[in-house]
Structure 1
Amino acid sequence: MFTSLLRHRTFTLGLVCAIGLLCSQCDRVAQSQADFDRAECEASGEFAWVEAGEFIAGSDRAERDYGYRISAEGASDDPERIAAIEQRLRQSRWFEWEEERQVRSLAAVCMGRNLVANADYKEFLEATGHRLPGISEPEYREQGFLVHPYSEVERFLWKGGEYPSGERRHPVVLVSYEDAVAYAQWRGDRDGASYRLPTAAEWEKAARGTDERYFPWGSEWRAGATNAAPSGIWHTSEVGAFELSRSPYGVEDMAGNVFEYTSTLEQRRGRTVSVMKGCSWDDSIGFCRAAYRHTRPIESRHILFGFRLVRDR
């Protein structure tokens, strides 16, 4: 299948970028690793090298159908209820916004092995005085997408400048895209390096590798593979706690735990939105495929959203 797609593809990434059909970041992404090699990337142990080259991105009808089916099967053991859940999911068209299955080619990327954790983010706050992760109840209601009541948000709130007890290595949440960019800038200034958020394509390749797999571990769902709804945790977990969610490149939590902001931005109804990748601790399992994507406004702050960094030099 992979060979066939390579042989018959119509456009290469370079051509698409040249004619301006991709995001404005194409040129920067293509050049980001020009003077940066694998040894430098992996020297600290914090980053993993995702080698340059082609991979299969997006999904086809068969994969989307699989996503709907396993999401329903993961929610119930009753055949009638499974059928009803699957029908509802299909009517909501959750997976119809994924990119069509295609060959993409990317430059090498130095991807953060782990999500940015509370302890990491606290260093940034103490150094800069940046606002704490959080959102007030009125702000939360105005923001919308109220999947969880505010009473559930409260257990994620920082108090007295401290993250929730016992969650030092949990991913930081209740931060916006803009907060994540500010963290990357601060970290770069501190380290004498250049950091940013991954693009959606970089994230997807880092999650699924080059062999067409749906999940970091393969193309069949595996019980206990990740912190999603079937785990029963119903909260964030320590970064890197689920071995099967480690990608072929050694990047942790590439399914489950939290959705991740990417630097791929779009315009929706007059608002700038970030393409979110991954799935969160409350998600059905079909959402944990690497091809899944949705968007949220860049000012959003939610208990399901976190981020990781890419290092450019």
Structure 2
Amino acid sequence: MNINFAQSILAVCMAAAVGMGFAASAGEAKLHKYSTTIEKERPQLNEETKRLISAWRRHPTEANLAALKKQVAANYDKVVERKKAKLEELKRTAKHASKVQEMQEIVDEMLQNREKRIEQSLRRFTDPRLKPGSRDRQEEYLPVIGAARNVSIARTPVTNEEYSEFLKATGRKPPQDWRNGAMPAGKARHPVVTVSYADAAAYCQWLSDKDQSAVYRLPTAEEWEFAAGHMPKDASFNCGENDGTTPVDAYAETLAACGAIDMWGNCREWTSTPTARGKTVMAVKGGSWKSRRTECRTEQKEEGREASVKADDVGFRVIRESKGRTGRQDERR
């Protein structure tokens, strides 16, 4: 592996790593006005982590994998300690208890899911599809780094325009906010909302029926998290500032780990994962235009909706699972 290629790989890895942020756009960072828990510093992979990633990619042995995992765990624990320090600072200085609660929830989640987050980060680092430029592609479906190798995710949520084609083909009842069955004027490129879990699943089945080479479905919560990666600290997206949705490409400069757009804010997205609240309460991810910024975090847990609910801030994004090899990425390390 030459030096330039290794450096490019590492740059992509840094964007995908758990706990690592990347710039959403050039110029001054736009920090959300409703949260004081957004940190201004941008952690970077240290030289030892870079060395271990390169070592594993050159020689993917169990020993090199174990060494990389140990380093990833150490990095994660340092982030946790920094969050704990921020929590203690807020306890002393915050004017509102809600700010302390925000950070307490972040710390609790990081501690509770430590092993899972470390494993997710490791799976991203060791996925052979993680290549230079993988986040810059404009394809309709993008590989979900860390998930099964045949899994890709739509670059954007399903739009009103796309959903309209589904309705024309199937005769299914339109969303409640479509007056007289017509798409909302001027919102063709907005995400479709006020759709139930069953509506979203039916759309996926329609795509599957048209394409015999793949199965289309809703993502699991974990697949969605792999696709999104850590929410950039200075990202711009539709959250708490607009009275409704915006076009799915309105904040196209903000990229998820896989290169998808509009994964935070605008509309929550259905997943196929039930929450602890019951089998029919499905996890929704990414927050919406109604949310506080911290509620949009990729790691936000137990945000769910009853499957039958049709809310004005819940839409969906599609997974494409190509037929053929279906092995999980971590089984081929």
TM-score of Structure 1 vs Structure 2, range by shorter chain? 0.5 to 0.7
Unaligned stretches of 5+ in structure 2? Answer: 1-44, 54-64, 70-74, 124-146, 323-333
Please tell me whether the aligned partners of residues 9 and 103 of structure 1 are also in contact (alpha carbons under 8 angstroms): no
Q: 1:242: Cα distance to partner?
A: 0.6
User: Structure 2 residue aligned with 1:158, among 178, 199, 221?
Assistant: 178
Distance 1:127 1:62, change over 3 A: farther
Equivalent residue, structure 1, for 2:220: 199
CA distance in 1, matches of 2:256, 2:250: 13
Please tell me whether the aligned partners of residues 226 and 244 of structure 1 are also in contact (alpha carbons under 8 angstroms): no
Please tell me whether the aligned partners of residues 206 and 248 of structure 1 are also in contact (alpha carbons under 8 angstroms): yes
2:213 is the counterpart of 1:172? no
What CA RMSD, in Å, does the superposition of the two structures yield over aligned residues? Answer: 3.4
CA distance in 1, matches of 2:312, 2:67: 43
Q: 1:191: Cα distance to partner?
A: 3.2
Give per-residue Cα distances to partners, 1:152-189, cap 9 Å, x unaligned: xxxxx111111211100100001111110011001211
CA distance in 2, matches of 1:67, 1:159: 48
User: Structure 1 residue aligned with 2:260, among 244, 248, 251?
Assistant: 251
2:290 is the counterpart of 1:282? yes
> Secondary structure in 2 aligned to 1:102?
helix
Give per-residue Cα distances to partners, 1:215-261, cap 9 Å, x unaligned: 1xx3x234xx11111xx222111112213322232211121111111
> Secondary structure in 1 aligned to 2:66?
helix
Distance 1:87 1:254, change over 3 A: same
- Across the two proteins, how many residue pairs are aligned to each other? 222
User: Structure 2 residue aligned with 1:185, among 189, 205, 216?
Assistant: 205
Q: How does 1:66-81 map to 2 (within 5 A)?
A: 81=95
> Secondary structure in 2 aligned to 1:261?
strand
Q: Percent identity?
A: 35
Distance 1:283 1:63, change over 3 A: farther
Higher mean alpha-carbon deviation, 271-280 vs 60-69, is at 60-69
Q: How does 1:58-207 map to 2 (within 5 A)?
A: 61=80, 81=95, 83-87=96-100, 89=102, 93=105, 96=108, 99-100=113-114, 101-104=117-120, 105=123, 106-108=147-149, 109-134=151-176, 157-192=177-212, 193-207=214-228
Unaligned stretches of 5+ in structure 1? Answer: 11-55, 73-78, 135-156, 209-213
Please tell me whether the aligned partners of residues 195 and 311 of structure 2 are also in contact (alpha carbons under 8 angstroms): yes
Give per-residue Cα distances to partners, 1:7-40, cap 9 Å, x unaligned: 3899xxxxxxxxxxxxxxxxxxxxxxxxxxxxxx
Q: 1:131: Cα distance to partner?
A: 2.0
Q: 1:97: Cα distance to partner?
A: 5.8
| 1:221 partner letter | D
> Secondary structure in 2 aligned to 1:167?
coil
Equivalent residue, structure 1, for 2:238: 227
Please tell me whether the aligned partners of residues 67 and 286 of structure 1 are also in contact (alpha carbons under 8 angstroms): no
| 1:280 partner letter | S
| 1:283 partner letter | S
Give per-residue Cα distances to partners, 1:77-121, cap 9 Å, x unaligned: xx865x333145468x58856744331343232110110001111
CA distance in 1, matches of 2:67, 2:178: 52
Q: How does 1:259-274 map to 2 (within 5 A)?
A: 259-268=268-277, 270-274=278-282
Give per-residue Cα distances to partners, 1:28-54, cap 9 Å, x unaligned: xxxxxxxxxxxxxxxxxxxxxxxxxxx
Equivalent residue, structure 2, for 1:296: 305
Equivalent residue, structure 1, for 2:23: none
> Secondary structure in 2 aligned to 1:263?
strand
CA distance in 1, matches of 2:259, 2:148: 18
Equivalent residue, structure 1, for 2:9: none
Distance 1:158 1:62, change over 3 A: farther
Please tell me whether the aligned partners of residues 194 and 311 of structure 1 are also in contact (alpha carbons under 8 angstroms): yes
CA distance in 2, matches of 1:272, 1:67: 37
Distance 1:95 1:275, change over 3 A: farther
